[in-house]
Structure 1
Amino acid sequence: MLGVGPPVTPAGRPSPHLRRQYVPVSALGARTGRRVVRRAVAAALVAGAVLTGTAAAPGAAGGPPPVGHGPHDEALQRALAELVAAPGGPPGAIAVLTRDGMRRVYRAGTAEVGTGRPPRAGDHMRIASAAKAFSGAVALSLVDRRALGLDETIGERLPHLPVAWHAVTLRQLLRHTSGLPDFSRSKAFQDIVRADPRHHFESRRLLDFVADQGLAFPPGSRYAYSNSDNIAVALMAEQATGRPYESLLRELVYRPLGLRETSLPQGYRLPRPYLHGYDTAPGEPPEDVSEAVSASGAWASGGIVSTPADLSAFIGGYAGPGLLTPVTRRAQQDFLPGGASQPAGPGTNSAGLALFRYDTRCGTVLGHTGNTPGYTQFAAATPDGRRTVTVSVTSQVPLDPALLARLRTTEEKFVCALLEHGRP
């Protein structure tokens, strides 16, 4: 799961070629609390106008000139359009392929139901658990600066946290082998979200929800994805520097990688323009949940807002050599077989330090995924950072097995295009 609050179960809906009604975010109110959050909490326990399906022309979103033309691009465009048109498919989708500074944009559906406006590479969106890679970028940058050590423990840096957690290292937190209980699965946290999806949490106190619990297993003995891990990572970074995590993001990540449209908000509002995210349910119109849930309940584990263009630039710098020293990159890319991101990315997944390896039928890329109400994300790059791919869709798909399988297949097609020698 992850992102801004617990996940929501996607549901089937008629073809996006049909005329639909929709519920604007301004009209959500208590209905969102009843429908979206009720199903969000249930999903957490399991997991861990006219809407057109016609695809917009690739590259129409602006930016650098498109790369390649012809049947290959048409196949990618068709795959994205078919994802949008599938039962339960997202109202909108956008994929960005970048190769040696040349960007090509593919998109299908709409950025906002009822408007016909296509998704654009400069539209803001919630990146959900892809934000964990940002916390990894902060922590590993501090490792490079010798302000933090990968084998430093919670007990050394955060002695106020439960003694039972004190042996957990920064390395184990970043690889999800810590055993920390997941705060977002706690009943108290879920009760608050259920009662008020826009509740403002004290983000630095999120671990209090599980402070009465021990570790789920001895540190380092197994892999288990936990949203608590990256909260602890951010707190260790703050303790090491005496600076807010948001400030560290700006100095160590946004500025070096040229990210101008990326931020970590505390509230539920999104910067304009943005990709609207939707929840759907059988027999009901899609609900706009873009601003339904406060980002404060995810913070360093999933609260970041970015754009397809910025996310592409980030993953190229983080997975490639643009941000970290060779020594730290070797530690970052010490992968644990079988460790999967949430949702699983294409191919076979392995877990590194806030980075995953995806071994596909066409080759290997490194990146991260994420999902939250209204959004599902995939961002990856080649190890040299010169080729990147992001696929962003405007619904939360992972709890619909058929739709998730289709999404992973679509992601793999884009990875194969990225790795092809002729053109992405």
Structure 2
Amino acid sequence: MIFRTLVPALGLLVGGLTVPASAQAPLTTALDKAFAKAAASAGDPGAQAVAMRDGKVIWSAKSGRAINEPSAPVTGSTMFSLGSFGKTVLAAYALRLTEKKVLALDTPISAYVGKKVAGSNVVTLRMLLTHTAGYPDMYADPATAPLFAGGKKYDPDRAYTFAMLAPGIRKPVNPGKRHAYSNTGFIVLAHVLSKASGGGAALERDLRRFLRGAGTGGGSLTAERSGRALSRFAHGYIAGDGGALTDFFTAYGAKGIPTDLYGLPFGDGMFAGTATGGARFLDALFAGDRLLRPATVKTMTTPSPQSQAADGTYGMATERTKVGRRTWQGHAGAYGGFTSMGATDRTRGVTLMVVTNRMAASDVAGTIWTKLAQAYASATP
């Protein structure tokens, strides 16, 4: 079951030109077909997909079920955990604080959090944002691994705190020397931002104000957990051997949204929302220059020397990917049965965002996103 939103009747901007409504059908048809085929090949997960150009939704689609039992369809307002896609959001906010001179990229973070955090006298904001701080994986650490799904101490209804996670934050290895993707580094980043904002509640308030500039209201992109979100939230499903699905919500007895899905202290996956919310954020950041100064965006999107040394394109919580001779800037995410992928073709001001409630051996959202990017490239100049 697939539903889509028709493009505006007045015309579609493609490659800098205004295309009459009569010429929109090939693009709409191409995206519809690509989405339907890709979703079906992925086992028909609950999914939302959005294409935007210069602040306007030009196409959208949704399919599958938000919850399998009892059955509930995905709607346009269904919320998903965005996983590591949220790193881009949090990084943009951190860079906004550097513009305001609240934070500095190359000052040791001990200036903001003191010396109790391992490596804080050496690690800088730049290292955290570029994944060059060298923090070992906290989720595999014996001190903290039992706190998460599958561990003896996992309680999906208990609120997490930074103090609970701190014992798993170990001394960084060769900070600043090489690029090594680190969820732990972004948990430390969230702690830095909380301290800089005056506490967790203040950070949530400031993020809400920051995201208002991207037009992401109504829970379409949020770091705040609430009881109201539960009625709109999809369940995340993890595909095991033979394709059997595990419901991340019910498998561990959660009474609401599992508290490790998003929100503080999880700077590595702090946000939830809709595909439209994610797309509006990327559009404001990379196409509209409404959230950061152009020079700051350039700093954010320039691959770090350490990433380039490893033949990568990762800058500050964002990387480039090429599909159909187009270059896209964005980030993917996966956690708790959810996957996401969003990126912007900055040359044309086009953003594609996909969210799903399925994790499998292959990247579900990433696969659907790639098919959409290919279809977009083939249907436009």
What TM-score do the two structures reach when normalised by structure 1? 0.73
Report the counterpart of residue 370 of structure 2 in structure 1: 412
1:159 shift after superposition: 2.1
Q: Percent identity?
A: 25
Change (3 A) 1:90 1:173: farther
Output the aligned Cα RMSD. 3.2
2:74 is the alignment partner of 1:119: yes
Deviation at 1:414, TM superposition (A): 1.9
Q: 1:208 aligns with which of 166, 183, 198?
A: 166
Residue 326 in structure 1 maps to residue 294 in structure 2: yes
Alignment-derived partner of residue 293 in structure 1 = 258
Deviates more, 1:114-123 or 1:323-332: 114-123
Q: Specify the code of the residue in structure 2 equivalent to 1:363.
A: R
Q: What SS class does the counterpart of residue 369 from structure 1 fall into?
A: strand
1:96 and 1:205 mapped to 2: Cα distance? 38
**Structure 1 residues 189 and 229: alpha-carbon distance in aligned structure 2, compared to 1, 3 A threshold:** same
Contact (CA 8 Å) 2:136, 2:172: kept in 1 or not?
A: yes
SS at match of 2:144: helix
Structure 1 residues without counterparts, runs of 5 or longer: 1-54, 341-347
AA aligned to 1:328 is: T
State how far apart, in whole Å, the 2-side matches of 1:302 and 1:247 are: 18
- How far did 1:151 drift? 0.8
SS at match of 1:177: coil
CA offset digits 1:330-382 (Å, max 9, x no partner): 21122138959xxxxxxx96211122222233211111110012210001113
- 1:369 maps to what in 2? 332
Counterpart residue identity of residue 158, structure 2 = H
Cα distance in 2 between the residues matched to 1:381 and 1:314 = 10
Distance (Å, rounded) in 1 between the aligned partners of 2:122 and 2:306: 24
Using a 3 Å threshold, how does the CA distance of structure 1 residues 270 and 153 change in structure 2: closer, same or farther?
same
Residue of structure 1 equivalent to 2:319: 356
Gaps of 5+ in 2: 13-22, 250-255
Distance 2:326 2:348 in 1: 15
Q: Tell me how many residue pairs correspond in the alignment.
A: 351
Amino acid at match of 2:156: R
Whichever residue aligns with residue 91 of structure 1, its letter is P
Partner of 2:352: 389
Matched, 1:59 2:22: no
Contact 1:155 1:163 in 2 (8 A): no
- Asked if residue 256 in structure 1 is aligned to residue 209 in structure 2, the reply is no
Task: Confirm or deny: 8 A CA contact 1:317 1:385 kept in the other structure.
Answer: no
Per-residue deviation, 1:114 = 5.9
Instruction: State the match for 1:234 in structure 2.
Output: 190
Task: After TM superposition, list the pairs within 5 Å mapping 1:51-200 onto structure 2.
Answer: 55-59=1-5, 69-70=24-25, 72-86=27-41, 89-100=43-54, 101-113=56-68, 118-162=73-117, 164-193=119-148, 194-195=151-152, 196-200=154-158
CA contact (8 A) 2:52 2:283 kept: no
Separation in 2, partners of 1:284, 1:418: 30
Residues of 1 paired with 2:47 and 2:299: CA distance? 34
1:161: how far off? 2.8
Which stretch shifts more, 376-385 or 266-275?
266-275
Verify the 8 A CA contact 1:319 1:383 in the aligned structure 2: yes
Query: 68-77 or 170-179, which moves further after superposition?
Result: 68-77
Q: Which amino acid aligns with 1:273?
A: R
Matched-pair contact (CA < 8 Å) for 2:53–2:283: no
Distance in 1 (alpha carbons) for counterparts of 2:352 and 2:243: 33
Q: How far has the Cα of 1:109 moved from its partner?
A: 2.5
In 2 relative to 1, CA 82–96 (structure 1 residues): closer, same or farther, beyond 3 Å? Answer: same
Cα distance in 2 between the residues matched to 1:234 and 1:146: 17
In the alignment, the residues of structure 1 paired with residue 181 and residue 43 of structure 2 have an alpha-carbon distance, to the nearest angstrom, of: 26
Q: Deviations over 1:132-188 (max 9, x none)?
A: 112112111111111111112122222233454421110110010110122222123
Instruction: Report the CA distance between 1:223 and its aligned residue.
Output: 0.9
Aligned to 1:35: none
Q: Is the 8 A contact 2:354 2:365 kept in 1?
A: no
Query: Structure 2 CA distance, aligned partners of 1:267 and 1:294?
Result: 11
Amino acid at match of 1:279: I
Distance 1:82 1:298, change over 3 A: farther
| Farther off after superposition, 266-275 or 358-367 | 266-275
More deviation in 310-319 or 270-279? Answer: 270-279
Letter in 1 for 2:222: S
Question: What is the distance in 2 between the residues matched to 1:123 and 1:247?
Answer: 23
